Structure 1
Amino acid sequence: MLRKTMHTCSFHRFGLLTFLFVVGATLVAYYFLPHTSGPDQEFNMANTNELSVNATVQKTPKSASSEVFYRESLPPEKGGESQQPSLEILLLHGQSFNSKTWESLGTLKMLAQHGYRAVAMDLPGFGNTPHLEIGKMDKDRADFLLAFLNTVGLQTPVLISPSRSGHFSIPFLMFHNQRLKGFVPIAPVGTNHCSAEQYRKIQTPTLIVFGELDTNLGVQSLKNLNNLPHHTVFKIPAAHHACYLDEPDKFHDALLDFLAKF
């Protein structure tokens, strides 16, 4: 009886060790073998036909050490083939924001879904773009923006420019307006640096956007930009300076109506 009991215990120990070995080997194999399924793959498969948004760091031709960060959205593929964008959009940003703002707001995705190529850049010293020595004159800032357009292959985009980015967009409008399909200023700074006569010479179609509650830059920029000969005005009710953040749906609707004209 004792012998039989000892044999039984040995058998159980052997069986337990075998079981643990098999389990351990299975876990090791699962860890090292490439997975064919899982949350990451399921996410990618679910988004195969959805919007492609690329975040890219691109060097400008101004200096080999200058890097400008931008986000780009492209129309989603159809039938496994890329769509040719029907329009190009360049989005700048205000003092407290960067290109991520347009992604979070859904603007990049919305524009791509309507067949447009949208590029949102981080201006020098904001977001992921370092401070760059580009000169302090209006022409310097206009030429910097032109260099960026040439680098990323934007031919004649519609330029969207809120608040502080007016330091770049208004000079660009004056010096390089032939490279713009359209202009969407959102209460930009710097509009008082140009005369009414200078504005009247610009033929670029323009959508002037401002918030009803923006009694500072909104009112000032409207007064100056009203001199543009081909403009329409969209005042967003009960919205502040960053009116596109207060009422993104209304802003997007007005923007799409404007873009549909091209």
Structure 2
Amino acid sequence: MSRYRAALAGLGLILIVLLYVGLPGPPEQTSQLQRGLNVTVLAGLTRGNSQIFYREVLPIQQARRAQVVLLHGKAFNSRTWEQLGTLQLLSKRGYRAVAIDLPGFGNSAPSKEARTEAGRAELLERVLRDLHVQNAVLVSPSLSGSYALPFLMRSHHQLRGFVPIAPTSTRNYTQEQFWAVKTPTLILYGELDHTLARESLQQLHHLPNHSVVKLPNAGHACYLHKPEAFHLALLSFLDHLP
């Protein structure tokens, strides 16, 4: 009888372990110490049908009104902004910052919505809603322009600010469409980016409420080449938003 009870107990323990491993866990929490800032980076999945992975830091000072949403380019993901110290720096300055993995990148699964312009705009709108982001400032490098620009054109009234960094897809919109967007905009690009930066500038200049910052001796991913200059420009823009 004792062997029978021991076997049952062992079987029960195995089932508990299997259930624990199979169940989704709470958002990951990892303490980060970077550039002298001791903050906690949270990671998790949005609740939408097409679940999107995100990282965020809560402000370690009193929260400011603007909330910064960081997208990414083709060769990157949300972790780029953690490794660069951008999430941590924004937290120290009192901004809530969220970095997301676009569908098919990082820890986000591919999504059928991403196949169309309207689908990409709706997906981004839903992600912001799921994460309770308000007064968003959207930072959009390179590839992420295919998400940020459709969103900007249809939902720019929801944005507090827009920071395009040589985004793709600018040719998909007319001069009149850009004129209609009143969102405060900081156009950032690297001095050595002679292709996409130059192409996007031709269209982004039609945004009526914009300023331009060129980062010297920086290429397409200018935020990686000149992170301090990038952070200074971004923080100055955020701090002076109405």
Amino acid at match of 2:113: I
Deviations 1:199-222 (A, max 9, x none): 001000000011111010000011
Using a 3 Å threshold, how does the CA distance of structure 1 residues 69 and 135 change in structure 2: closer, same or farther? closer
Q: 1:99 aligns with which of 74, 78, 81?
A: 78
What is the aligned partner in structure 2 of residue 201 from structure 1?
180
Amino acid at match of 1:75: P
Using the TM superposition, give the Cα deviation of residue 132 of structure 1 relative to its aligned residue in structure 2, in angstroms.
1.1
What is the aligned partner in structure 1 of residue 59 from structure 2?
75
Tell me how far apart the structure 2 counterparts of residues 225 and 84 of structure 1 sit (CA, whole Å). Answer: 30
- TM-score, normalised relative to structure 2: 0.83
What is the aligned partner in structure 2 of residue 192 from structure 1?
171
What is the aligned partner in structure 1 of residue 19 from structure 2?
none
Tell me how far apart the structure 2 counterparts of residues 58 and 190 of structure 1 sit (CA, whole Å). Answer: 26
Tell me how far apart the structure 2 counterparts of residues 93 and 151 of structure 1 sit (CA, whole Å). Answer: 19
Structure 2 counterpart SS, 1:146? helix
What is the aligned partner in structure 2 of residue 59 from structure 1?
47
Tell me how far apart the structure 2 counterparts of residues 116 and 68 of structure 1 sit (CA, whole Å). Answer: 21
Deviations 1:78-133 (A, max 9, x none): xxxxx334320000000000000000000000000000000000000000001111
Tell me how far apart the structure 2 counterparts of residues 84 and 216 of structure 1 sit (CA, whole Å). Answer: 38
Contact preservation (8 Å) 1:93, 1:161: yes
What is the aligned partner in structure 2 of residue 17 from structure 1?
none
State percent identity of aligned pairs. Answer: 47
Contact preservation (8 Å) 2:191, 2:215: yes
Tell me how far apart the structure 2 counterparts of residues 50 and 164 of structure 1 sit (CA, whole Å). Answer: 31
1:148 aligns to 2:143 (yes or no)? no
Aligned residues: 209
What is the aligned partner in structure 2 of residue 257 from structure 1?
236
Provide structure 1 residue ranges, at least 5 long, that are not aligned to the other structure: 1-42, 78-82
Structure 2 counterpart SS, 1:207? strand
More strand by share: 2
1:122 aligns to 2:101 (yes or no)? yes
Using the TM superposition, give the Cα deviation of residue 135 of structure 1 relative to its aligned residue in structure 2, in angstroms.
5.0
Using the TM superposition, give the Cα deviation of residue 261 of structure 1 relative to its aligned residue in structure 2, in angstroms.
1.0
Contact preservation (8 Å) 1:52, 1:76: no
What is the aligned partner in structure 2 of residue 90 from structure 1?
69
Contact preservation (8 Å) 2:66, 2:134: no
Provide structure 2 residue ranges, at least 5 long, that are not aligned to the other structure: 1-29
Tell me how far apart the structure 2 counterparts of residues 201 and 84 of structure 1 sit (CA, whole Å). Answer: 30
Deviations 1:153-188 (A, max 9, x none): 001200000000000001011011011000000000
Following TM superposition, the consecutive aligned residue runs of length 4 or more in structure 1 with deviations greater than 4 angstroms are none
Name the larger-Rg structure: 1
Contact preservation (8 Å) 2:65, 2:135: no
Using the TM superposition, give the Cα deviation of residue 56 of structure 1 relative to its aligned residue in structure 2, in angstroms.
1.4
Structure 2 counterpart SS, 1:51? strand
- TM-score, normalised relative to structure 1: 0.76
Tell me how far apart the structure 2 counterparts of residues 257 and 237 of structure 1 sit (CA, whole Å). Answer: 17
Alignment map for 1:10-29 (pairs within 5 Å): none
What is the aligned partner in structure 1 of residue 137 from structure 2?
158
Tell me how far apart the structure 1 counterparts of residues 228 and 217 of structure 2 sit (CA, whole Å). Answer: 14
Using the TM superposition, give the Cα deviation of residue 67 of structure 1 relative to its aligned residue in structure 2, in angstroms.
1.5
Using the TM superposition, give the Cα deviation of residue 137 of structure 1 relative to its aligned residue in structure 2, in angstroms.
2.4
Contact preservation (8 Å) 2:145, 2:168: yes
